[in-house]
């Protein structure tokens, strides 16, 4: 009995299509009643503005923990250095240049990876404001700008600015 390749390909295509169709998720229909009544729009409040004086500005330093080298930088540097060293000279000179390229590239790659994984120090500033109604508010900002202790400020929707 001879099996036609065309018959096998048509059969496998139909079988694949049937399998993929069976895997399709069932449609999801909303069950809300007709007519659709959307919720009422929320009333937007106007901007909330407060006034006060800068009571304190402090520096917050944080340091991320560094990690040791994994050896990946040394391997990558050695490969690149070996490839570059192999392009120089002929015979024994080429071999020496390749070895020097591998060693130099490994040292350089390890050094670069070490700098990349070094601890990082970042500074932010916490500006404390005593509001006119007697409360205190604190704002963590990347830079205090021209704000100084005692300056009069305006707090508009959580944003602090000189007044």
Closest C-alpha to 46, from 153, 137, 135, 157: 157
pLDDT above 90 (res 54) = yes
Please tell me the distance from the alpha carbon of residue 161 to that of residue 52, in angstroms, as a whole number: 10
Q: What pLDDT was estimated at residue 152? A: 95
Q: Do 110 and 135 sit in the same domain of this protein?
A: no
Task: Report the number of distinct structural domains present in the chain.
Answer: 2
Q: Please report the pLDDT score of residue 36 as a whole number.
A: 55
In a domain, residue 24? The reply is no
What would the pLDDT profile of 83-133 be if each residue is shown by its tens digit? 788 888 777 888 888 888 888 888 888 888 887 777 788 889 999 999 998
Cβ within 8 Å of residue 44, ≥6 positions away = none
Asked if 161 and 154 count as a contact pair (C-beta separation under 8 A), the reply is yes
157: containing domain: 49-64+120-162
pTM above 0.75, yes or no: no
**In a domain? residue 136:** yes
> Has residue 84 been placed in a domain?
yes
Q: Which CATH number goes with the domain that contains 131?
A: 2.40.50
Phi, psi of 140 (to 5 degrees): -95, 115
Contacts 24+ apart (CB under 8 A), 157-162: 157/47, 157/48, 157/49, 160/127, 160/129
CA distance 156 to 146: 17
Cα separation, 76 vs 140, in Å, equals 41
Give the rounded distance of the alpha carbon of 124 from its chain centre.
19
């Amino acid at each position: 009995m001879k099996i036609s390749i065309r018959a096998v390909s048509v059969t496998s295509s139909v079988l694949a299509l049937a399998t993929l169709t069976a895997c399709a998720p069932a449609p999801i229909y909303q069950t809300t009643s007709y007519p659709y009544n959307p919720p009422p729009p929320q009333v937007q409040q106007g901007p909330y503005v407060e006034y006060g004086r800068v009571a304190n500005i402090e520096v917050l330093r944080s340091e991320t923990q560094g990690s040791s080298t994994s050896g990946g930088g040394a391997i990558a540097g050695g490969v690149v250095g070996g490839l570059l060293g192999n392009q120089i000279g002929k015979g024994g000179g080429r071999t020496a240049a390749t070895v020097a390229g591998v060693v130099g590239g490994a040292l350089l790659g390890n050094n670069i990876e070490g700098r990349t994984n070094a601890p990082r120090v970042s500074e932010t500033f916490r500006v404390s404001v005593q509001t006119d109604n007697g409360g205190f508010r604190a704002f963590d900002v990347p830079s205090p700008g021209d704000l100084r202790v005692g300056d009069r400020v305006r707090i508009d929707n959580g944003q602090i600015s000189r007044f």
